[in-house]
Amino acid sequence: MNARTTALSALIATRRQNAWSDGVLKEYIARDRLDARDAALASRLCYGVLQNRMLLDFYIAHFLNGKLRELQPVVLDILRLGAFQIVFLDKIPVSAAVNEAVEQCKSYANWRAAGLVNGLLRAMARSRDALPEPPDLATKYSHPQKLVELLEESVGKDAIEPLLKCDNEITPTILHANPLRADAESVFAELEEAGAVLTPHPWLPDCRLAQGTGNLERLDAFRDGRVYVQDPAAHLAALASGVEPGMQMLDACAAPGGKSFAAAMQMRNEGSILSCDIHPHKLTLIEKGAERLGITMLQTRLQNAAEHDPALDGQFDAVIADVPCSGLGVIRKKPDIRYKPLEPLARLPELQRAILENVCRYVKPGGTLVYSTCTVLRRENEAVAEAFLKEHPDLSPETIPAPTGFGLENDGMLTLLPFKHDTDGFFICRMRKHS
């Protein structure tokens, strides 16, 4: 099995099952036993097609004698995959991209479709330097028009194109050293000796931007918990809790556990963390992650963050509510988010507010409450936090402590944008409960 076939299989499965591409692709890479090089190419192809689907369809339609909707879905998948290689990947020979697409048609569709694919992709390749200009930002950056409008309402006219462009870029891998298991310099030196290219993060200590690591799960340093992966924005949200050794912390919507883990390291594994979620299988993942990282002061609980448990009232020095959200700040990690229906997202602020209203009761007097999301929509971020604070005079926003060199002042609310801060799109609000 080669990388192109794996990528096509993942695209087909994602479409048919309406599943998230990251999970499907990981499954298919393992199924096909791809080596590190082919796994990287399969990922680039699958994500690249999803990131540029509307633009690829625009180009395909330009060369097609007929209508896109008349194409067999699998043929369109094959055309998108071939077109992406021709338009975006200069290092892949056109002949290889076209020939593989033709063979895929013979296997997945029919001989007649193979002829259409061959002719269309070769015509596109001949015109690669003179392709038609996309008519709008939505097509150019493959974000549905309604989504573009929704994002622009929050980030503004000047920021919308940089944001859309950044959504289609490759997400950097951010490696953190685990102080509970390793010395940062030693473990990073070990990775560099193994061929990884590591660059110090501009404002997070003991953290590196990584290239050339391949599948992280194959690295000894990852498997034994000496390093872990976390976006700087999520790490900053954990630091915003202000936890110290010996404190009690609640992570109300904890899965997949990254903020709990970062907080545990900040606490030097001293004190207690209660990590809650509504899905049992996600709690199992948190428990396994904590074990790998050597965290022993963390417990999990099946708990709905919007439902009150009187036994938790006033029990915690810090509470993190990283609430369910639209996820529109992590489109570059999950490119298929952009194609999901927008209508259900309008109900999220009600849930987010309900969670805040509940978990604020769990904070001790003098303790901190952190509200965070991985979206850039104001209606889920500032609007929720401001409305909540207006109804809760016993809580006040408080400046979010940031690492040296971060260089971004805040008044207790902070929005991070991928194209500005090279993080996920993220919102953090830190609040202090009055004593």
Residue ranges of domains in the chain? 3-132, 143-435
- Mean pLDDT calculated for residue range 169-184: 95
Q: How confident is the model at residue 41 (pLDDT cuts 50, 70, 90)?
A: very high
Q: How confident is the model at residue 410 (pLDDT cuts 50, 70, 90)?
A: confident
Helices then strands, each counted (H, E), the chain:
18, 12
In this structure, of 29-33, 368-372, 376-380, the range with the lowest mean pLDDT score is 29-33
- Check 105, 166, 374, 429 and give the catalytic one: 374
Q: How confident is the model at residue 214 (pLDDT cuts 50, 70, 90)?
A: confident
Kindly tell me if the per-residue pLDDT of 6 is higher than 90: yes
Kindly tell me if the per-residue pLDDT of 207 is higher than 80: yes
Distances (CA, A) of 426 to 147, 268, 293: 17, 26, 25
Q: How confident is the model at residue 435 (pLDDT cuts 50, 70, 90)?
A: confident
Q: Sort 214 into a burial class: Cβ within 10 Å, 0-12 / 13-18 / 19+.
A: middle
Cα gap 393→372, rounded to integer Å? 20
Kindly tell me if the per-residue pLDDT of 408 is higher than 80: no
Q: What is the CA radius of gyration of the chain?
A: 23
CA angle 354, 356, 362 (to 5 degrees): 120
- Mean pLDDT calculated for residue range 346-368: 98
Residues of the chain above pLDDT 90, percent: 92
- Mean pLDDT calculated for residue range 350-363: 99
Topology agreement, domain 3-132 and domain 143-435: no
Query: 3-132 belongs to which homologous superfamily?
Result: NusB-like (1.10.940.10)
> Which amino acid, 374?
C
Cα gap 407→393, rounded to integer Å? 30
Q: How confident is the model at residue 407 (pLDDT cuts 50, 70, 90)?
A: confident
Spell out where 192-314 has E strands.
197-200, 207-211, 227-229, 248-251, 272-277, 298-302
Query: 143-435 belongs to which homologous superfamily?
Result: Vaccinia Virus protein VP39 (3.40.50.150)
* Mean of pLDDT over the chain: 96
List pLDDT tens digits, range 83-127.
999 999 999 999 999 999 999 999 998 888 999 999 999 999 999
pLDDT of residue 210: 92
pLDDT of residue 404: 74
374 is catalytic: yes
Give the distance, in angstroms, between the CA of residue 67 and the centroid of all CA atoms in the same chain: 34
